[in-house]
Amino acid sequence: MTNEQLWQTALGEIELNISRANFITWFRDTFIFKNKEGVATIGVPNGFSKEWLENKYNKLILRAIRNVSSDIKELRFIIVAASSSVSSPTERIIKTPGIKGTPVGQAQSFQELEIDKDTNLNPKYTFSNFIVGSFNELAQAAAKAVVNNPGEAYNPLFIYGGTGLGKTHLLQAIGNEVIEKYKKKKRVKYISSEKFTSELVSSLHNGKIEEFKENYRQVDILIIDDIQFLSGKEKTQEEFFHTFNFLYQKNKQVILSSDRSPKAIATLEERLRSRFEGGMITDISQPDMETRLAILKCKTIEKKIVIPDEILAYIAAHVQKNIRELEGALNRIIAANHTITSNPDMAVVAKILNDIINAPKKLTNHKNIIQAVAEFYDISAADLIHRCRRKEVVGPRQVAMYLMREELKKSFPFIGEKLGGRDHTTVMYACDKLTKEVEKNEMLQQELNLIKEKIYSK
Ligand code: ADP
Ligand code: MG
């Protein structure tokens, strides 16, 4: 594998792990300058990029590179001025021979450059490339209804579901379709709740709060993604509440997404929660086998490549929980090499995908679990451990007990001891209760999944 192929594959993986804007900003004009004796030297265009990649993305880059070539043990970064003889990445990407002459995995990044500055919409997310199955049909139907009758059908529309299941895609598809359908007559704005918060903070800081308000109150369709990040941010919630009311009263459409239902967002102000519940709440769950296959097919068509059904079926059967990972697996196959796709050898395919599919269950410990549970419910770890008997703490504490039992297989006395010296019968009671509840309470299942994601990303 050449350095170029190595870097393209790693980039394909990195891209799936960070926001599109960050990917473009920090990875544009980068390449592998040298790869020798376990040290990969990444060429970057300026000192600013060097600093960011070194400090912020070192681990991610190393992991992505090592997935392709495990002999690389260390990364270095070097500034290579644009005037050097190395061709620009754009040229290089275009020149990179992909399968059947198509540039590999780069179509996406190029479209990204087209993100509209005013609406923040990425044109690649549309209804036409959004596959519908029983897991998301309600959400899709609601989204379509909102396009047809903005401000009237369902207001607000609230879509929730785990990561990588298509919330952002659907939200942006609404925005893109509204623009298409009503031309410039309706103003659309898409923003993540984190970006909303940081814009709000900086406009407060710069004395431009009126401008900020004005800006958001002029839109016809306001789309805020990943609203769970407003949890615990009182000032932002307050501002958002006023904006929301303003738009709502004028029959303007508000669309929100979150990784969990409004009920499950800790420290969401009651008045916001009840506003959200006043509209339409719908979830996206996990796709079934058939839909996973359809999604993979759709992606290959988009990328204009041909991959044997046998390989697609293998991916669909093994990558089940996350559409982003499904795409990641496909990208990896595409990048691996040409011969696999013309002459599929399933043993080789299995090997390439081995670490995505059989990711060894990472080890964790009771501290990670306590911390993740506390963060999720927005309470302090100390409260969780110690004598606090408030209802908001007792429930999460039982969740922590249950997870320590399930994930660590520890004894009841051990768990009791780590949670403030509680008696083992208390732990037994909690585990028993949760085990029963998990079976019938879907919301609890989702919460547990999200907490586990947190635990294993620590
Ligand atoms: P989320 O916002 O829920 O974390 P995204 O919307 O970012 O998930 O989706 C992750 C990836 O999976 C994106 O590349 C998206 O285009 C793709 N995807 C998700 N759902 C679908 C679908 N139903 N059909 C086609 N592609 C999908
Ligand atoms: Mg998203």
Comparing 168-182, 325-339, 419-433, the range with the smallest average pLDDT is: 325-339
The CATH topology of domain 289-357 is Helicase, Ruva Protein; domain 3 (1.10.8)
Task: Report the CATH number of the 3-92 domain.
Answer: 3.30.300.180
Beta bridge partners of 255: 157, 223
Whose Cα sits closest to atom 13 in ligand 1? 324
Place of tokens 């870097």: 7
Contact 169 CB / ligand 1 (< 6 Å): yes
The pLDDT tens digits of the residues spanning 373-391 come to 998 888 899 999 987 778 8
Token readout for 85 is: 């003889």
Measured CA to CA in angstroms, residue 390 lies from 92, 379, 383, 393, 394 at distances of: 60, 11, 9, 5, 6
C-alpha 18 – ligand 2 centre gap (Å): 11
Domain-wise residue ranges, the chain:
3-92, 137-284, 289-357, 366-457
C-alpha 170 – ligand 1 centre gap (Å): 8
Comparing 69-83, 272-286, 375-389, the range with the smallest average pLDDT is: 69-83
Comparing 87-96, 143-152, 254-263, the range with the smallest average pLDDT is: 87-96
Ligand 1 pocket test, candidate residues 324, 325, 326, 330, most atoms within 8 A of CB? 324
Whose Cα sits closest to atom 14 in ligand 1? 324
Contact 216 CB / ligand 1 (< 6 Å): no
Comparing 90-99, 320-329, 352-361, 419-428, the range with the smallest average pLDDT is: 90-99
More confident residue, 79 or 340: 79
Proximal ligand: closest to the CA of 128: 1
Contact 131 CB / ligand 1 (< 6 Å): yes
More confident residue, 133 or 111: 133
> Is the whole-model pTM more than 0.75?
no
Band of pLDDT at residue 197, cut at 50, 70 and 90: confident
C-alpha 238 – ligand 2 centre gap (Å): 23
Atom of ligand 1 nearest to the CA of 163: 4
- What's the rounded Cα separation, in Å, for the pair 142 and 154? 8
Whose Cα sits closest to atom 11 in ligand 1? 324
The pLDDT tens digits of the residues spanning 12-55 come to 888 888 877 678 777 888 899 899 889 999 998 877 678 778 88
pLDDT above 70: residue 105: no
Which protein residues have their CB within 5 A of the ion that is ligand 2?
167-168
Q: What is the pLDDT of residue 439?
A: 83
Q: 366-457: what CATH class?
A: mainly alpha
Q: Same CATH fold, 366-457 and 3-92?
A: no
- What's the rounded Cα separation, in Å, for the pair 254 and 216? 11
Atom of ligand 1 nearest to the CA of 132: 23
- What's the rounded Cα separation, in Å, for the pair 333 and 312? 10
Mean pLDDT estimate for the chain: 85
Task: Report the CATH number of the 137-284 domain.
Answer: 3.40.50.300
Evaluated on CA atoms 341, 345, 348, 353, the torsion sign reads: positive
Percent of the chain with pLDDT over 90: 44
The pLDDT tens digits of the residues spanning 405-441 come to 988 888 999 999 999 999 999 999 999 999 999 888 8
